[in-house]
Amino acid sequence: MASAKEIADRIIANVEKVIIGKREAVELVLIALICRGHALIEDVPGVGKTMLAKSLSRSIGCNFKRIQFTPDLLPTDITGVSVYNQKTSDFEFRQGPIIAQIVLADEINRATPKTQSALLEAMEERQVTVDGVTHPMPTPFLVMATQNPIEYEGTFPLPEAQLDRFLLRITLGYPSLDDEVTIIEMQQKVHPVDELGTVVGVEEVLALTEAAKEVYVDAMIKRYIVTIADATRHHEATYVGASPRGSLGLYRTSQARALLADRDFVLPDDVKALAQVVLAHRLIVNPASRMKDVTGSSIIEQVLDGVPVPGARPRDRVST
């Protein structure tokens, strides 16, 4: 079997045939897949959120389902429902769209909190329970949810428990002028996603997951991760800091990032590079700080500046 980096590079290169100029975002989604986590993509409409999910599923040969979240969507529309069959005189389970390998939860914040909660069991325990019967999720299983950060009418904020189940929060942003010209030229006759082929099998994706677990993390790095998470809990601007699930997510994603860089050990730079996308969305800023435009991202920046990096020497004080 090819090395872990070769497998990852094939996936990323294939997705980049559709998603132009967004390598960092593509790598983050792949990290979420490797870590058996889920990704929340928060950005304005039309920047390629749906295409990113489709491109990834086609690249790794996984089945793909899309759920359009609306205010009238019911939990059973997601998980599935038991229907009575008159021929067999028994109830049959008709699975919902959540039972797929790559699931796009489009505009997730347009559904009511009751419907949003239908994802909780599937995302954390990788199963759904309908009428007392448990149905396991396929492997791999990745939920990519999207939401529009600038439109609030007819939307419902994601509950804290739901946000905490997303391993990463990603933004794509607008493409550069040159990249946008390339996008226009590529879609002149046909959309490139329609011609995208499979470059990696499911077995190789699972091999990446196992390889990431073997990446070495020094005790000082572990302490660094936990110290960052703990600092968010004691920051003056936070009402609720990062949970232990957040520090575990930062640990696992750092292993996956090192794997993509063809390293078998984690560096402090891996932790610092991922702290924003892993922890910022898990913080609840207190009302007084929100009035001052303090955000989870700005808190993480302050925490990273304040927590000593393992192995770094303190600056010499200038004598006066």
pLDDT at 311: 73
Q: Give the residue among 259, 267, 269 at the shortest CA–CA distance from 6.
A: 259
Tell me which fold the domain 1-205 belongs to: Rossmann fold (3.40.50)
pLDDT at 39: 94
Q: Give the residue among 317, 209, 213, 228 at the shortest CA–CA distance from 271.
A: 228
Predicted structure pTM score? 0.89
Structural contact between residues 60 and 14, judged by C-beta atoms closer than 8 angstroms: no
Output the DSSP codes for 51-87: HHHHHHHHHTT--EEEEE--TT--THHHHEEEEEETT
What is the rounded average pLDDT for all residues in the chain? 89
Q: Which residues in the chain come in under a pLDDT of 50? A: 1, 317-320
Residue whose token pair is 């008159």: 86
pLDDT at 231: 95
pLDDT at 152: 62
Residues 253-283 have pLDDT tens digits of 999 999 999 999 999 999 999 999 999 999 9
pLDDT at 181: 93
CATH of 214-308, one of 3.30.70.260, 3.40.50.300, 1.20.1250.20, 1.10.8.80: 1.10.8.80
Q: Do domains 1-205 and 214-308 have the same CATH topology?
A: no
**Backbone angles phi and psi of 231, in degrees to 5:** -65, -30
Buried b (16+ CB within 10 A) or exposed e, 216-250: ebeeebbebbeebbebbeebebbeebbbeebbbbb
Output the DSSP codes for 152-163: -TT--PPPHHHH
Residues 194-204 have pLDDT tens digits of 888 899 999 99
Integer Cα distance of 32 and 168 in angstroms = 7
Residue ranges covered by each domain of the chain = 1-205, 214-308
